[in-house]
Amino acid sequence: MDKTTQSTPAAATARGAVQPDYAAIKARQQAAWASGDFAIIGVTLQIVGETLAEIADIRAGETVIDVAAGNGNASLAAAHRLARVTSTDYVPALIEKGRARAAAEGLDIAFQVADAESLPYPDGSFDVALSTFGVMFAPDHGRSAGELLRVIRPGGRIGLASWTPDSFVGQLFKVIGKAVPPPAGVMSPLLWGTEAYLGELFGDAAADIRTARRHYVFRYASPAHWLQVFRDFYGPVNKAFGALDGQGQALLEREILELLERFNTADGASLVVPSEYLEAVIVKRSA
């Protein structure tokens, strides 16, 4: 683990030459994440939430907010450690899926529909903020990073898990972006998976930024099985195929299957695809 260089959130935002229409972009993103059923895939990522809760040193009685929580992996992980948890996401259906998971486990978690770029909580409301593969997708990076910092107390912690640019998921988004280009001026979510960019985002507000590179392993019956599940249930893949004509869909399918084969470590017996992600714990300055 190592400490990154630091500057200000504004420095990261200033890179975009075109001023994006964030409201329109967010509306399209919200529709994408609401399509399919992300919860079917989300539950398979629970180990990432548990690992992040450990590295963030979640303790009994601490107040924790899970931002862009999806169906609640980090929320459940923090509640398993007896924290007082608030789980937030801007997709109501995912909040309901998280609520059902918490009820099934008998966990007392507060759930609220909320935007990562405009959290409805006073300054310093929480000891810890967590996000697993969530806040990285908010289009205005400076605002979402600022909100994470704002809602935790001085000396509080932010725990993040973000896909890296060279990971399988990072390459998947590059393939999708080639077929269906993202809106002009929007910073890539994969930047959150780099140490230097986290330093730019959190800047002088961070007393310390500790990072480690880990791997989540996708395990499916075959590349075709993975593609079918993600095409049906994972919003960005679902929407990408829906935006293309038959020829475009065939090309995207072929490129994704080739990518899966390239990353597959199972020698064709099934699908075992490791995907690197950056785990980070950011400590907010006390003064």
Question: What pLDDT is attached to residue 277?
Answer: 98
| 3 domain residue, yes or no | no
Across the range 158-178, mean pLDDT stands at 97
Buried b / exposed e over 157-185, threshold 16 CB at 10 Å, is bbbbbbbbbebbbbbbbebbeebeebeee
Model confidence band, residue 4 (pLDDT cutoffs 50, 70, 90) = very low
| 266 domain residue, yes or no | no
Overall number of domains in the chain: 1
Residue 19 has pLDDT above 80, yes or no: no
Domain at 31, CATH number: 3.40.50.150
Question: What pLDDT is attached to residue 11?
Answer: 42
Model confidence band, residue 41 (pLDDT cutoffs 50, 70, 90) = very high
Residue 33 has pLDDT above 90, yes or no: no
Q: What are phi and psi of 26, to 5 degrees?
A: -65, -40
Residue 12 has pLDDT above 50, yes or no: no
**In the chain, pLDDT over 70 holds for what percent of residues?**
94
Model confidence band, residue 42 (pLDDT cutoffs 50, 70, 90) = very high
Question: What pLDDT is attached to residue 29?
Answer: 78
| 246 domain residue, yes or no | no
**pTM, full prediction:** 0.91
Q: What is the pLDDT of residues 179-215, one digit of tens each?
A: 999 888 889 999 999 999 999 999 889 999 999 999 9
36, amino acid identity? G
Q: 54, 43, 48: which is closest to 214 by C-alpha? A: 48
| Average pLDDT value for the chain | 92
CA distances from 116 to 141, 158, 175 (A): 10, 13, 26
Question: What pLDDT is attached to residue 269?
Answer: 86
In this structure, of 120-129, 162-171, 233-242, the range with the lowest mean pLDDT score is: 233-242
Residue 129 has pLDDT above 80, yes or no: yes
CA distances from 126 to 149, 198, 199 (A): 10, 21, 22
Q: What is the pLDDT of residues 132-156, one digit of tens each?
A: 999 999 999 999 999 999 999 999 9
Beta strands (DSSP E) in 4-121 are 63-66, 84-89, 109-113
| 150 domain residue, yes or no | yes
| 254 domain residue, yes or no | no
> What residue numbers bound the domain in which 150 lies?
9-218+276-284
Q: What is the pLDDT of residues 43-94, one digit of tens each?
A: 999 999 999 999 999 999 999 999 999 999 999 999 999 999 999 999 999 9
| 191 domain residue, yes or no | yes
